Structure 1
Amino acid sequence: MPNNSNRPKPDDRSDNVEKLQSMVQDTIQNIEEAHDTMELSSGEEKEQIIAKNKRREEAIQGMREEIKDEYNNQNDMK
């Protein structure tokens, strides 16, 4: 019997848009929760939260671009 455990899985991108949209929503929720936490934080902690939220917003921007690309690629294949 051949060993198929080393065989790569087929590239299935059919649900990438949905996964990316879910990731965007999760990241937005994390930003909102961080804003709530920031109200109870000290100066240095606030600065760290602000910096992390800025990185999260940049990540969201990248994910939204990727969503557009994936959506366009899916429609090109139809």
Structure 2
Amino acid sequence: MEDQHHPKSNNRSNSAARVQSMIENTEKNIREAEISMEFAGEEELENLQEKNQRRKHEINIKKKEMLDKAEAEARKNSFK
């Protein structure tokens, strides 16, 4: 079996990029759901709206997480 190298989940060097990718994927899902809403029945429309509301909330959490990580990194670098 081929040995594959995967970054550790706590590897901070890829953390911001990983979070940014998650945000972009969630934004894409929101856009796709909005397109689907045009063709959805009443119940499906309600479900898609609720999902997008949760997705937008998650994006806000991830953006705050990125800001917190950037601030922590800046503080850490200021002591070097």
TM range (shorter): 0.7 to 0.9
Equivalent pairs counted in the alignment come to: 70
Q: Percent identity?
A: 33
State the partner residue of 2:4. Answer: none
Residue 56 of structure 1: how far off its partner (Å): 0.2
- Give the match's secondary structure for 1:40: coil
TM-score (norm 1): 0.82
- Give the match's secondary structure for 2:12: coil
TM-score (norm 2): 0.80
State the partner residue of 1:20. Answer: 19
Indicate the RMSD between aligned Cα atoms, in angstroms.
Answer: 1.6
State the partner residue of 1:32. Answer: 31
State the partner residue of 2:56. Answer: 57
In the alignment, structure 2 segments of 5+ residues that lack a partner are: 1-7
Q: Give the structure with the larger helix fraction.
A: 2
